[in-house]
């Protein structure tokens, strides 16, 4: 149970509530959602199982584990580079994750003070730009969030948080259901539903498919060796497949509900679905501003969202800290402080992408868009590809069958087939598709 809580805490976060709706809006809705769902179940789930399996077999930090198992299984210790890449990806993701989480923190006070009450789209958009458009405000909240993260990791009190996950995650989900009720009655629910599930594949670009794949990794926290780091603590008696399936289903349900809350509000208020990273901050306050006790529900929602972001942020920095402690001999406190400081500084690239440097655009868009694209859509799928090849082809059949504990029947064969063929081939094809290899 503690393990399910820890992995769910890492998986459920801004990826579900902030990122999923906005990238769905940017990539046209329905078809994107379907590709995302296929990636989650056919690629993300088997990789999550592989990561836990590898982590539990190695029982060290991801870098050491991959090196050790690589050597043991007849390959070589260079597999540890997968762990290094994961640590690097975690570092980059946390740098922008913390900035967005900071926005969520700032919204707690706004909601509580009634800034959204009775507001319309223009007024609420103004609140958003007043925070994100002023670099020092955004930076201050980013700093606060990084401090909160480093403190917990430095003192190694994650265990305490796991207990809180048990109460606060269901609370967040309940609040989403309340919002769903609001969207159902006062929005354009049918239009929102239609947008999310009516698929027009002809409009889906190769790049959108890669974004869907990248997001399936991002939201499940896989491809980055974070789940592997947790796997090291998993007791031998726990079922890996059962645990992974539970987490994947919970994570997916939260994302879909978040989408079904947000798009009806978008259409009811004449907003654009492709508004970008500000989407939830421009839509949800409309719901809070126009429902009974909205100031209370709004503040509570952003408290819970910030908490969900916090538990995910810990999963992003933990592999790096574990590595620095085990391999470099630093104390936990020093490791967390040093790594946190670097992440914090790098976070300014994202802070400034929404104000002073908003005009700087290249490749994928703003500086933030490029950082996110590199980490989420290139590093995570690449990490996932190597992990699935490792679990399916390098680790021998006996070892994985032994670790998975589901016998060698249908379930095991399904996992092995997905891991050896579907996941690696899928990732490679999607990469090729994105760079235009299959373009007419």
Binding site for ligand PHE (CB under 6 A): 10-11, 13-16, 93, 218-219, 221, 224, 226, 312, 315-316
Q: For residues 325 and 64, what is the distance between their CA atoms, to the nearest angstrom?
A: 12
Which residue number, 169 or 268, has a Cβ lying nearer to ligand PHE?
169
Which residue number, 125 or 381, has a Cβ lying nearer to ligand PHE?
381
Closest CB 248 distance from ligand PHE, rounded Å: 11
435 beta partners: none
Closest CB 117 distance from ligand PHE, rounded Å: 29
Which residue number, 226 or 280, has a Cβ lying nearer to ligand PHE?
226
Q: Which region holds residue 399: left if phi is over 0, alpha if psi is between -120 and 50, else beta?
A: alpha
> What would the DSSP string read from start to end of 38-65?
HHIIIIIHHHHHHHHHHHHHH-S-HHHH
365 beta partners: 362
The residue with tokens 């063929």 is 421
For residue 401, the tally of other CB atoms under 10 A from its CB is: 16
In degrees rounded to 5, what are phi and psi of residue 59? Answer: 55, 30
Closest CB 10 distance from ligand PHE, rounded Å: 5
Closest CB 7 distance from ligand PHE, rounded Å: 10
Q: DSSP 3-state assignment of 364?
A: coil
Query: Which residue's CB comes closest to ligand PHE?
Result: 15
Distance from the Cα of residue 417 to its chain's centroid: 26
Which residue number, 104 or 366, has a Cβ lying nearer to ligand PHE?
104
Which residue number, 308 or 335, has a Cβ lying nearer to ligand PHE?
308
Closest CB 395 distance from ligand PHE, rounded Å: 22
Which residue number, 10 or 377, has a Cβ lying nearer to ligand PHE?
10
Closest CB 324 distance from ligand PHE, rounded Å: 17
For residue 360, the tally of other CB atoms under 10 A from its CB is: 12
Q: Are 285 and 269 in contact (CB under 8 A)?
A: no
Q: Are 281 and 102 in contact (CB under 8 A)?
A: no
């Amino acid at each position: 149970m503690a393990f399910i809580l820890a992995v769910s805490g890492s998986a459920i976060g801004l990826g579900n509530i902030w990122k999923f709706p906005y990238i769905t809006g940017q990539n046209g809705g329905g078809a994107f959602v379907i590709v995302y769902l296929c990636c989650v179940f056919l690629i993300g789930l088997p990789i999550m199982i592989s990561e836990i399996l590898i982590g539990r077999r190695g029982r060290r930090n991801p870098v050491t584990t991959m090196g050790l198992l690589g050597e043991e299984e007849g390959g070589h210790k260079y597999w540890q580079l997968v762990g290094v890449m994961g640590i690097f990806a975690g570092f980059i993701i946390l740098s922008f994750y913390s900035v967005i989480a900071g926005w969520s923190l700032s919204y707690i006070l706004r909601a509580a003070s009634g800034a959204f009450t009775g507001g319309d789209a223009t007024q609420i958009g103004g609140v958003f730009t007043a925070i994100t458009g002023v670099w020092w405000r955004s930076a201050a909240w980013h700093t606060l969030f990084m401090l909160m993260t480093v403190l917990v990791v430095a003192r190694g009190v994650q265990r305490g948080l796991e207990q809180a996950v048990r109460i606060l995650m269901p609370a967040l989900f309940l609040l989403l259901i309340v919002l769903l009720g609001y969207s159902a009655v006062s929005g354009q629910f049918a239009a929102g539903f239609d947008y999310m599930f009516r698929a027009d594949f002809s409009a889906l670009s190769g790049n959108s498919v890669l974004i869907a794949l990248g997001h399936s990794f991002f939201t499940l926290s896989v491809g980055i060796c974070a789940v592997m780091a947790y796997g090291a603590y998993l007791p031998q008696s726990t079922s890996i497949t059962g645990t992974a399936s539970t987490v994947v289903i919970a994570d997916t349900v939260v994302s879909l509900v978040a989408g079904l809350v947000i798009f009806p509000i978008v259409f009811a208020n004449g907003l654009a679905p492709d508004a970008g990273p500000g989407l939830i901050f421009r839509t949800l306050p409309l719901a809070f501003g126009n429902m009974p006790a909205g100031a209370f529900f709004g503040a509570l929602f952003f408290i819970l969202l910030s908490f969900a972001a916090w538990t995910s942020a810990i999963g992003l920095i933990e592999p790096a800290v574990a590595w620095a402690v085990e391999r470099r001999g630093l104390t936990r406190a020093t490791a967390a402080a040093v790594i946190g400081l670097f992440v914090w500084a790098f976070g300014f690239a994202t802070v400034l992408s929404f104000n002073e440097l908003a005009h700087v655009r290249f490749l994928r868009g703003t500086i933030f868009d490029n950082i996110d694209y590199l980490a989420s859509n290139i590093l995570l799928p690449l990490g996932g590809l190597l992990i699935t090849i490792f679990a399916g082809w390098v680790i021998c059949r006996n070892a994985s069958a032994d670790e998975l504990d589901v016998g060698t029947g249908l379930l095991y064969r399904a996992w092995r087939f997905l891991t050896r063929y579907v996941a690696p081939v899928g990732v490679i094809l999607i990469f090729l598709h994105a760079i235009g290899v299959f373009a007419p």
